[in-house]
Amino acid sequence: MMALTRRTSWVIWTLVLMVMCTPITNGLEETNPLFWRSEAHDELRAALRSTEHNTNRAEAVIFFIGDGLGVSTITAARIMKGQRAGAPGEEAKLSFEDFPHFGYSKTYNTNSQVPDSAGTATAYLTGVKAKRRTIGLDAGIKNVSVCYPTTMNHSVDSILKLAKEAGMAVGFVTTTRVTHASPAATYAHVPERFWEAALPEEARQAGCKDIAAQLVESDFDIDVIMGGGRGWLTPYNLSDPVEPDKFGARPDGRNLIEEWQARYSQKGIAKYVWNQTEFDRIDPWNTDYLLGLFGYEHLHYSDDRAQGVGEQPSLAEMMEKAIRLLRRKNNRFFLFIEAGRIDHAHHLSLASHALSDTIALEQAVSKAVALTNDNTLITVTADHGHTLSFAGYQPRGHKILDKIFSDERGLPYTTLGYYNGPYNSIVQKSLVETDERPNITNVNTADSNYQQQALMFHLYETHGGEDVAIFSRGPWSHLFHSVHEQNYIMHVMQYAACIGDYLDRCHTADPTEGSPVTTPGSGSAFPRSMAWLPLVLYAATRALE
């Protein structure tokens, strides 16, 4: 009897421990108030720890941009990530959402309420807000898309150049063309973002250069360049090595890939790669300069690449190779990383691809955290948002790409939709012919190439004008703390790394003291009565252009 009692007790305690150690599924834990109190207590403890600010100099800076990564995209991607793991999804987190410091960025361009990626890239990479469609130029230029002899006088240096001048290794990685708006702002100065491989002759005569030429002729050495856009660096008569039916986009006959190889082979071990196989062979310990162009145009969406389309490395793979190469050259480095195809998917109303590429971005961020230490400043943000939204009263765990059957007319609609976009033309056609929206009951809306419906027609869905989130960890990340102008981001990175404007004023109480950028009335010796003088000089300069 005693043995039976002991055996029974052992079984009971085993079952109790199993229950205690096994996660409760199906959301049952959420019915218990203790669950929510415990969740809040954990978050409160993390918040209290985050008040212990890291004020060391940032030895490395890694700056992620999710092009078009608005808040609604983050939320929807978070749900998709959770659902791919078999959970309801709403409770999931993207890796960077656990970063301790957070703020918002105001994205407008100086001449546009809703911005483009050129003006925003100029803001967050040069620290100066700019006009729409311009790259690396301040807002004082006379006209967009026109080059004057004085246009280049408005050039503003990127943080990559400032980091290089401070002795850091530098590079950038993108899933777009390396000459596209966002990466171009790391090195180029041009009044028209679309002058990637060619520009009007009058612009050339006035002293402007196309973006690809500026990349190869840059006045500072970029140690790592990876992305797409082979065709924008090669001449009209040269076929692509991977897609031989496509030819270069350059009318001047220059092969900039060969020019890059010739220039950098004189400086060290320079390697050019164009596919996954060649990429995998790159040894960071035996490479000084790396140019990787893995697509004739942009790189493939992450889901397509994962299914074997093309032979291209992932964003995380390119980022890891870049970190290892830069760190081998110099423990102090600056790396810019762009998940650029989130934006392209949104423009085509391809929500599935936009969310999947967001998840690919968060995987790269997670890898960056694992590869670096606490003295690395890592910041994740967007250049702008999009018109994506999701609505309805669907139940918890509803598939984010699925349909909702609650339309007053009995027709389903997708959880995700766009304010404007190309699919509206199909909607309008159906309304004209049947007085109803298209019936998508039997349509697989989870297909990666399904286009979400839009309220208004636009050939390409537009950007959104809302603020975007900033997530940051590492030295001085606590300086992201409220709603900021977008150009502020670059200044935080400069300040944390003690470069550029803050090279000689490293972590001072007043970083603007003695600075030429100090404004009248904010500690400057410049008389307030003379505050009108810069405006007069500016007007005179404009009149002479």
| Active site residues per annotation | 117
Closest by CA position to 302, among listed 120, 84, 71: 84
**Residue 227 carries which DSSP code?**
E
Report the alpha-carbon distance of residue 511 to residue 515 in Å, rounded: 8
Q: Is 347 annotated as a binding residue?
A: yes
Cα distance between residue 298 and residue 434, in whole Å? 39
Which stretches within 220-340 are classed as H helix?
256-265, 276-281, 302-306, 315-329
Six token digits for residue 348: 């085509």
Convert 51-77 to b/e letters by CB count within 10 Å (16 or more is b).
Answer: eeebeebbbbbbbbbbbbbbbbbbbbb
Determine the residue type at 341.
R
Measured CA to CA, the distance from residue 168 to residue 183 in angstroms comes to: 18
- In angstroms, the CA 493 to CA 162 distance is 11
Task: Tell me how many degrees the CA angle 365-340-216 measures, rounded to the nearest 5.
Answer: 100
Q: Is 304 exposed, middle or buried (0-12, 13-18, 19+ CB in 10 A)?
A: middle
Q: What is the largest CA-CA distance in the chain?
A: 106
CA 466 to chain CA centroid, nearest Å: 16
**Total Cβ atoms within 10 A of residue 169:** 24
β-sheet bridge partners, residue 233: none
Is 447 annotated in a binding site? The answer is: no
Which two tokens mark 420?
A: 């404007």
Query: Does 338 carry a binding-site annotation?
Result: yes
Q: Which helix (H) or strand (E) holds 223?
A: none
Strands (E), 374-446: 376-382, 385-386, 388-390, 403-404, 413-414, 416-421
Q: Which residue has the tokens 């900039």?
A: 256
Q: Going along 78-162, which residue ranges are E strands?
A: 101-106
Q: Is 384 annotated as a binding residue?
A: yes
Closest-CA residue to 287 (of 326, 318, 248): 326
**Phi, psi dihedral angles at 318 (to 5 degrees):** -65, -45
Indicate the SS3 state at residue 8.
helix
> Is 343 annotated as contributing to ligand binding?
yes
- The dihedral formed by the CA atoms of 373, 379, 380 and 384, expressed in degrees to the nearest 10: -170
Measured CA distances, 122 to 246, 277, 411 (Å)? 31, 34, 45
CA distances from 203 to 46, 148, 206, 218 (A): 54, 7, 5, 19
Strand pairing partners for 425? Answer: none
Check: CB of residue 68 under 8 Å from CB of residue 349. no
398 belongs to an annotated ligand binding site: no
Is 154 one of the annotated binding-site residues?
Answer: no
Q: Is 42 annotated as a binding residue?
A: no
Residue 29 is labelled as binding a ligand: no
Known binding-site positions: 67, 180, 182, 338, 343, 347, 383-384, 463
Known binding-site positions for Mg(2+): 67, 180, 182, 338
Known binding-site positions for Zn(2+): 67, 343, 347, 383-384, 463
